[in-house]
Amino acid sequence: MAKVHFYYSTMNAGKSTSLLQSNHNYEVRGLKTYLFTPKVDAELHNGSIHSRLGLEKKAHAFSETFDFKDFFLDKSEEKISCILVDEAQFLTLSQVKELCFVCDKYSIPVMCYGIRTDFRGELFSGSSALLAYADNLVELKTICEYKNCSRKATLIARYLDGKLITEGEQVVIGGDKYKVYCRKHFRKLTGLI
C-alpha cells in the first residue's frame, strides 16, 4: 500500500538533501519520479530543488492554485514510482488532500519534506495538514544554535539586520535570516512561548 510520508524539521537539517538522495535512489533503478517545489522557491533557484551541499534537480513548481489531482489525471498510464515535494509547508490544505487522493487512487508513494513551524512557533498550513493526514511522520534532527547547547533544535527564529524579530509576514525567503533553537532557548530569546 502506498503511503504519504512527511519528513519535517527546522532549517538546516538536510531535508532537501534527503529528498534528492531518495530521488537518486529511484532514478538509478530506472524508476520514474515527479519532483515538486513551491513557485516562490523555484524562482530563486532556476526551477530546481537545491540543497546547501550543492545538490540540485529540476522540479515542477506549484503555486497556491496548483491542482495535484488535475496534474496526475492524465498520467494514470505512466508507471510513477514516487512523488517528492520539497518545502511542503507551502502546500495548502486542499493540496495535501489532493496528494493523499493521488497516493490512494494511483498507489503512488508521496514523500513531503518541510518545516513544521514558522518563526513564531506556529504551524504552517501545509505542515498542519500533513501532520493530520500523512501515514508516516519522520522528524529529521539538527542541533540548537544557542552558544554551547547540544539539544535538538525544534523551533526557528528570524533575524533582520542581526536583530531577532517576533512579528511580521509568515514567509520571508532566505536561509541567512534564520537560526534554529531548542524550545528552552527559543523561549528565552523570543518570549513567544
Active-site positions read 87
Beta bridge partner(s), residue 113: 7
Residue 5, all three cell numbers = 510520508
Helix (H, G, I), strand (E, B) or coil at 129: helix
Length of the chain: 193
Strands 163-165 and 155-160 come out as antiparallel
Instruction: Give the DSSP per-residue string, 78-109.
Output: S-EEEEEESSGGG--HHHHHHHHHHHHHHT--
CA angle centred on 11, ends 9 and 16, rounded to 5°: 80
Nearest to 174 by CA among 183, 161, 185: 161
Beta bridge partner(s), residue 114: 8
